Amino acid sequence: MESVQAIKQRFGIVGNDPGLNRAIEKAIQVAATDISVLVTGESGVGKEAIPKIIHQLSHRKHGKYIAVNCGAIPEGTIDSELFGHEKGAFTGATQTRSGYFEVADGGTIFLDEVGELPLTTQVRLLRVLENGEFIKVGSSKVQKTNVRIVAATNQNMFDAIQKERFREDLYYRLSTVEINLPALRDRQDDIHLLFRKFASDFALKYKMPTIRLTDDAVTELLSYRWGGNIRQLRNVAEQISVLEKNRAIDRAALLSYLPDAHSNLPAVIEKTKQDSDFSNEREILYKVLFDMKSDLNDLKQLTMELMKSGASDVKQKHQGLIDKIYGDGDNGEQQMEVLPATRPEEPEVKIVQPAEDRYEYAEEIEEEETLSLQDKELELIKKSLERHKGKRKLAAQELGISERTLYRKIKQYDL
């Protein structure tokens, strides 16, 4: 059995942190078996190195090693990618295809970001773990495979199980042995060591002198949170190596490459439910205000028409506009009434809602009523009453006004 130090040299792993050494020791110990392994840790800590170690130290090292990023494959095609499909199984399936579990028979499959798998795919994966069986998409034939599964995730799996985003039985099948890799901020003694390694690599790659940090820059390097872990540290080292002309990097120069260097908060802050609810309520309020503005514009248009013509003509010409503002008339017939105001020359216009939803909109219209209009109105009322033998209800319907309005007109003209 190879030592931890030999494995580090073989796979290019840098660091002497006890947590890192313990993870490598566990990988060496389980490699000779076929039990499934779950690698946990934050994004960017180097989880992909563990399955490679396990595969190369196992009896499957001559078989295929396939790494699958579960979060990068669309939900609609992931079953086909993993288990294959038959010709004609879905639109675009022009030929039969072998999935990863068929291709990697006798080898190892690394399922990165396994927490992103859809629930339907989790059921299929559980069957493979339990008895090595799977079925291609669009087929009814059961196939066998002999594959070693190593999975990795940066999620809190117990939280995912509680929220019913991950099957509990699948979690316990995958995590027969769990290997955790520590975050970079918990490996204080390894941070500067890793930075020097990356700086040396990039100096060789880009054929330029190696950068080095001053003492105050090293202090800042060690105190930074490194939310992106080793991946972020490597990116910073590459940027500085390429962009800085001065090869001696002081604290000020380093800080220009460290986002939120003085913040102790995590890089990603989860949006709270209250924030989401407030956003939804605000959107609803904007919509209500927009609708109110539209209704006011329509009301102005209707009022202008009332100023230019009689109420009956407006009702006939703009019934659609009236229904839009005050409803479609399902709860009762809309009624427009021209009521006498305190001064005869300034009638007050009202649009009356049904009893169930009564809102009154009144606006004074300064319009001088001519004698000819009064005479015409009086003449029309007299003729309608005579035609219907004094029946106010029928006369009001013919005139297009309410019976109550007709009654007031009769009193007003002393008929």
So what's the pLDDT on residue 357? 44
Q: Tokens 């090693």 belong to which residue?
A: 65
> Which of residues 12 and 262 earns the better pLDDT score?
12
Q: What is the pLDDT of residue 349?
A: 44
229 has pLDDT over 50 = yes
Nearest one of 99, 106, 68, 70 to 83, comparing CA atoms: 99
For 4-182, CATH gives: 3.40.50.300
Is the Cβ–Cβ distance between 55 and 105 less than 8 Å? no
Residue of 370, 319, 377, 369 whose CA lies nearest to 347: 369
CB atoms within 10 A of CB 4: 17
Q: Which residue has the higher pLDDT, 379 or 19?
A: 19
Q: Which residue did the predictor score with more confidence, 396 or 219? A: 219
Q: Is the pLDDT of residue 274 over 60?
A: no
Residues of each domain in the chain carrying CATH 3.40.50.300 = 4-182
360 pLDDT exceeds 50? no
Q: Which two tokens stand for residue 347?
A: 């009638």
| pLDDT tops 60 at residue 341 | no
164: helix, coil or strand?
A: coil
Query: CATH 1.10.8.60 spans which residues of the chain?
Result: 185-255
- CATH class of segment(s) 185-255: mainly alpha
Report how far residue 379's alpha carbon sits from residue 388's, in angstroms, rounded to the nearest whole number.
14
